[in-house]
């Protein structure tokens, strides 16, 4: 804590420095000023918590200094030390926020008592400021969630709509003259597997990114507001009430912003224009229905509105027996034929909706559970069985949000192959899926590979792969991959024409320093040292 002594007489400043028990009060720095103007400059530069000032000083006296402190540095605690027993000076001190008025000659007890009060007041205010800052940070962190809650309730029909709207207007600046609104919906569940994998460990960042892009367009000119639907976490909902711009124009700006950021074309469902707030829930339901019942096989159009024709019904369960027999056969050819038969029937529908794709995924999960239960005496137990119940749930959509039959075929064949290995208990070295993963790592070591990538490629959960890989090889996947890369790097280091940076990149490391660190950790020497040793032989 810093204390500034402002007095035009040096012997008074020296006396105060000698009489005050600075250590007891936790004062670490004592500053001095010979007049009020110098005191102001020091306060600006050093920010002392306490100022002890005389009242009669040249250039700027104590009264003016106290007034300046009150206006510009109100947190500074002031103590007056004066030779004038003047009622007006005392009153001015109190009005200006001074804590005490001590008469000269200075009494040590009075001085330390005043200093103690000032120190306690400064510490108490600093503590209160820290608590207020922490509370404000917490409120700011919770504020978006609170807005999401109110808006989710609004479109869900919960509570009194007028009360909700009043809270939104009072606390979040919702325009008071909004008479109509239209809802729109974006769903992260309709993004492709690649972008979902990218945000797998931080889904909140994906929602934050999408909402920020939407609100950057909507909040400029108060066109509307976007929020995270708390009841359906995969959804970003937009409420638009500005009628001066066409809906498609506003949503097109949002779509372009998302495409620029994520390199993905999102599809947006839109509801009809209805009275606000009464019609907000209905418009939202229309928007959601339009998005989920769009034709995912159609390559044209990203904005979906109106009530679509209901899709032709088709149950995945009708193909269950052919899928199960193909899985039990262990034959890649039979698995492929079973999947092709299903795909051909889907193609005959003409239109396929995301809602159907999600429903078929749900049927698939139910089917796998039945297989596990029916073969409980032959299949693995515990976590081994759970592997089939946590397979990737992404819809087979490409970066444009269209149904990709090749991707879908790959997903189904991968699931059936994983089921086949579990159901038929193929645990030999050649066929065990963990060894397939190891072989993939050995052949693709130069690529950027993560555990999430392996889970998506082999249709197994990350937890299952991590546990079984460690059981089989005694190391985790990242250490195994590092070992493969370093062995390849050792061979490349024998070629003196290749620079270390080139070799690092060739074995999957973009950072040469990190490559050297990993190499030294495994080999006990740097790549350069290893190269010199080999050249000397």
For residue 307, pLDDT over 80 is answered with: no
Which residue from 87, 37, 42, 73 is spatially nearest to 57, judged by alpha carbons? 37
Compute the average pLDDT of residues 378-390. Answer: 47
**What is the per-residue pLDDT across 36-58, written as a single tens digit (0 to 9) for each?**
999 999 999 999 999 999 888 88
**What is the per-residue pLDDT across 479-492, written as a single tens digit (0 to 9) for each?**
999 999 999 999 99
Structure confidence at residue 221 as a pLDDT band (50, 70, 90): confident
Copy the structure tokens of residue 262: 């994520």
C-alpha to C-alpha distance for 263 and 261, rounded to whole angstroms? 6
Structure confidence at residue 161 as a pLDDT band (50, 70, 90): low
Between 309 and 400, the more confident residue is 400
Would the pTM of this model clear 0.75, i.e. be above it?
no
100 torsion bin: left (phi>0), alpha (psi -120 to 50), beta (else): beta
C-alpha distance across the termini of the chain, in Å: 66
Q: What pLDDT does 371 receive?
A: 81
Between 77 and 310, the more confident residue is 77
For residue 426, pLDDT over 70 is answered with: no
Torsional sign, CA 150, 153, 155, 158: negative
Which of 142-156, 194-208, 351-365, 406-420 is predicted least confidently? 142-156
Buried b (16+ CB within 10 A) or exposed e, 245-257: eebeebbebbbeb
Structure confidence at residue 237 as a pLDDT band (50, 70, 90): very high
Phi, psi of 331 (to 5 degrees): -95, 125
Phi, psi of 260 (to 5 degrees): -65, -35
**What is the per-residue pLDDT across 280-297, written as a single tens digit (0 to 9) for each?**
999 999 999 999 999 999
Q: Which residues contact 485 (CB under 8 A, 6 or more apart)?
A: 445, 446, 507, 508, 509, 518
For residue 388, pLDDT over 60 is answered with: no
Q: What is the DSSP letter of 382?
A: T
C-alpha to C-alpha distance for 500 and 532, rounded to whole angstroms? 12
Q: What pLDDT does 300 receive?
A: 79
C-alpha to C-alpha distance for 349 and 352, rounded to whole angstroms? 7
Compute the average pLDDT of residues 8-17. Answer: 90
Say what angle helices 527-536 and 512-523 make with each other, to 10 degrees: 60
- Residue pair 50/1 in contact (Cβ under 8 Å)? The answer is yes
Structure confidence at residue 87 as a pLDDT band (50, 70, 90): low
- Residue pair 205/199 in contact (Cβ under 8 Å)? The answer is yes
**What is the per-residue pLDDT across 507-523, written as a single tens digit (0 to 9) for each?**
999 888 999 999 998 89
Q: What is the chain's alpha carbon radius of gyration, rounded to the nearest angstrom?
A: 36
Q: What pLDDT does 373 receive?
A: 72
**Average confidence score pLDDT of the chain:** 85
The residues with which 100 forms a beta bridge, in sequence order, are 79
């Amino acid at each position: 804590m810093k204390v500034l002594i402002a007095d035009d007489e040096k012997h008074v400043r020296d006396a105060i420095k000698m009489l005050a028990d600075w250590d007891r009060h936790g004062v670490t720095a004592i500053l001095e000023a010979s007049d009020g103007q110098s005191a102001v400059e020091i306060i600006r530069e050093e920010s002392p918590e306490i100022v002890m000032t005389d009242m009669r000083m040249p250039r700027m006296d104590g009264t003016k200094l106290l007034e300046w402190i009150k206006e510009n540095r109100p947190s500074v605690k002031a103590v007056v030390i004066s030779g004038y027993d003047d009622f007006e000076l005392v009153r001015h001190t109190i009005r200006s926020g001074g804590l005490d008025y001590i008469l000269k000659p200075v009494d040590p007890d009075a001085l330390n008592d005043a200093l103690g009060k000032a120190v306690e007041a400064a510490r108490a205010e600093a503590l209160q400021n820290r608590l207020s800052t922490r509370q404000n940070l917490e409120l700011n962190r919770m504020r978006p969630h609170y807005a999401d809650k109110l808006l989710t309730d609004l479109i869900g029909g919960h509570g009194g709509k007028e009360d909700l709207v009043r809270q939104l207007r009072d606390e979040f600046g919702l325009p008071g003259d909004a008479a109509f609104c239209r809802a729109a919906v974006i769903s992260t569940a309709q993004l492709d597997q690649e972008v979902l994998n990218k945000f797998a460990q931080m889904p909140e960042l994906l929602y934050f990114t999408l909402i920020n892009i939407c609100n950057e367009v909507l909040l400029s000119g108060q066109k509307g507001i976007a929020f995270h639907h708390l009841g359906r976490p995969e959804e970003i909902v937009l409420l638009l009430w500005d009628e001066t711009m066409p809906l498609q124009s506003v949503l097109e700006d949002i779509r372009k912003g998302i495409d620029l950021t994520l390199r993905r074309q999102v599809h947006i469902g839109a509801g009809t224009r209805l009275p606000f707030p009464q019609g907000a829930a209905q418009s939202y339901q229309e928007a959601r229905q339009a998005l989920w019942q769009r034709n995912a096989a159609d390559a044209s159009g990203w904005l979906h509105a109106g009530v679509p024709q209901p899709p032709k019904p088709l149950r995945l369960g009708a193909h269950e027996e052919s899928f199960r027999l193909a899985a039990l056969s262990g034959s890649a050819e039979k698995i492929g034929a079973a999947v092709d038969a299903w795909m051909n029937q889907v193609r005959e529908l003409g239109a396929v909706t995301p809602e159907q794709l999600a429903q078929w995924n749900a049927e698939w999960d139910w089917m796998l559970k039945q297989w596990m239960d029916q073969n409980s005496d032959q299949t693995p137990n515990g976590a081994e069985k759970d592997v089939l119940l946590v397979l990737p749930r992404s819809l087979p959509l490409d970066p444009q949000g269209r149904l990709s039959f090749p991707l879908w075929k790959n997903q189904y064949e991968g699931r059936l192959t994983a089921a086949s290995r579990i159901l038929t208990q193929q645990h030999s070295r050649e066929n065990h899926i963990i060894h397939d993963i190891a072989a993939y790592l050995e052949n693709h070591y130069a690529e950027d590979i993560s555990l999430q990538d392996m889970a998506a490629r082999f249709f197994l959960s990350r937890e299952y792969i991590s546990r079984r890989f460690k059981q089989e090889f005694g190391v985790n996947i990242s250490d195994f991959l590092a070992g493969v890369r370093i062995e390849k790097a050792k061979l490349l280091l024998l070629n003196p024409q290749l620079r270390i940076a080139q070799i690092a990149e060739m074995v999957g490391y973009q950072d040469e320093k990190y490559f050297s660190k990993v190499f030294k950790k495994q080999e006990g020497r740097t790549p350069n040292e290893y190269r010199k040793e080999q050249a000397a032989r």
